[in-house]
């Protein structure tokens, strides 16, 4: 379903991904792990087509089609979805209008109002968010956990074939985490493939990954089955250095996509 060949990506001319190779099949639940600042979010943004991330070499094949140069909205329509590590707050854009527009962009005919209402009401209920949030500006003033829930609502509305969830568990309370795990497991049963980034073992005890990729220094340094993810999220990365002789460079974290909350004003 997804095949990435020798992907090299840079941001503002500093290179972040240095030859990523991986393959994901339909129905997989993939755990994408790696220490802070080693390129996990960068990989997600590159797959989704963020224009800030320049692909210098390599390609991304999705369902047999080379999407490396495809624009972002087309990738979304082809069935890709990225739940952001830090969803931006967009003032002036009402959630309701945005949900309707994004849903309609995936449909041939605009959705009927009643169907839209039913769909959104259900999605809000599933993540335990009051449906009055739909009248607020997109993510504006939302708490960390509310933003994550809002991402899952959109995941449900758009029902992609491949969903990439970037630290969807960070900031969620225990109850929210289990409702969201339920949504993910349900969607997986219905055919959605998932790639999950998480630093905590709780998520991987609620959702069982069958594959693990570990990104270190902008490369897939190690891969394995679901047990690898469980071991790393319990023990950390030091055993990798010892057992597999992989050197983990300490990253001085400057800017992470995770800290893009600040508005860029020129």
Partner 1 sequence: MKKEIINIYSDNKIKTNEICDFCISEKEVNSSFFIESNKSLLINLIDIDNINSSINIIFNLKNKSKLLLNIISLSSINNKKEYHLSINHNHPESYSRVNISGINLGGNILVDAKARIIQGANKSDTRIEGKITNLSSVARSRISPILYIKENDVKASHSASLGSYNEADLFYLTSRGLTLGDAKKAITYGSIYPLINNINDTRIKTLSLDKIRSLSLC
Ligand X SMILES: Nc1ncnc2c1ncn2[C@@H]1O[C@H](COP(=O)(O)OP(=O)(O)OP(=O)(O)O)[C@@H](O)[C@H]1O
- For residues 109 and 4, give the distance between their C-alpha atoms in angstroms, rounded to a whole number: 33
Task: Name which of residues 236 to 255 contact ligand X (CB under 6 A).
Answer: 251, 253-255
- For residues 53 and 190, give the distance between their C-alpha atoms in angstroms, rounded to a whole number: 32
Q: Which is nearer to ligand X, 39 or 134 (CB)?
A: 39
Q: Which is nearer to ligand X, 163 or 257 (CB)?
A: 257
Site string for ligand X, 200-239 (x = CB under 6 A): ----------------------------------------
Distances 242 to 65, 140, 194, 201 between C-alpha atoms, Å: 39, 45, 30, 21
Rule CB under 5 A: say whether 233 interacts with Mg ion: no
Beta bridge partners of 76: none
Strands of 25-70 (E only): list them.
Answer: 29-33, 53-62, 65-66
- For residues 88 and 259, give the distance between their C-alpha atoms in angstroms, rounded to a whole number: 10
Q: Can you tell me which of 42, 46, 76, 85 binds partner 1, judged by CB under 8 A?
A: 76
Residue whose C-alpha is closest to residue 192's, from 168, 165, 166, 226: 165
Which residue, judged by CB position, is nearest to Mg ion in the bound state?
41
Residues at the interface with partner 1 (CB under 8 A): 45, 48-52, 71-73, 75-77, 81-82, 84, 87-88, 90-94, 97-98, 101-103, 105-106, 137, 154, 158, 260, 263-266
Residues at the interface with ligand X (CB under 6 A): 11-12, 16, 34, 36-42, 85, 251, 253-258
Residues at the interface with Mg ion (CB under 5 A): 41, 85
């Amino acid at each position: 379903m997804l095949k990435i060949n020798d992907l090299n990506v840079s941001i503002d001319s500093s290179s972040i991904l240095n030859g990523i190779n991986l393959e994901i099949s339909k129905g997989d639940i993939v755990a994408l792990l790696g220490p802070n600042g080693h390129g996990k979010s960068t990989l997600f943004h590159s797959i989704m087509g963020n224009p800030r991330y320049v692909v210098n070499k390599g390609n991304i094949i999705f369902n047999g089609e080379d999407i490396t140069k495809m624009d972002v909205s087309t990738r979304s329509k082809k069935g890709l979805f990225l739940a952001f590590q830090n969803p931006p707050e967009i003032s002036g854009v009402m959630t309701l209008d945005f949900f309707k527009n994004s849903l309609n962009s995936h449909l041939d005919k605009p959705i009927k109002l009643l169907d839209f209402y039913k769909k959104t009401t259900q999605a809000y209920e599933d993540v335990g968010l009051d449906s009055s949030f739909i009248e607020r500006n997109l993510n504006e003033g939302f708490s960390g956990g509310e933003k994550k829930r809002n991402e899952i609502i959109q995941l449900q509305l758009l029902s992609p074939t491949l969903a990439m969830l970037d630290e969807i568990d960070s900031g969620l309370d225990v109850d929210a985490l289990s409702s969201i795990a339920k949504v993910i497991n349900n969607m997986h049963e219905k055919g959605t493939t998932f790639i999950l980034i998480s630093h905590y073992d709780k998520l991987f005890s609620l959702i069982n990954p069958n594959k693990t990729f570990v990104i270190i220094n902008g490369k897939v340094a190690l891969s394995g089955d679901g047990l690898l993810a469980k071991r790393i999220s319990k023990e950390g990365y030091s055993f990798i250095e010892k057992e597999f002789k992989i050197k983990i460079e300490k990253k001085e974290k400057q800017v992470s996509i995770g800290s893009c909350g600040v508005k860029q004003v020129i």
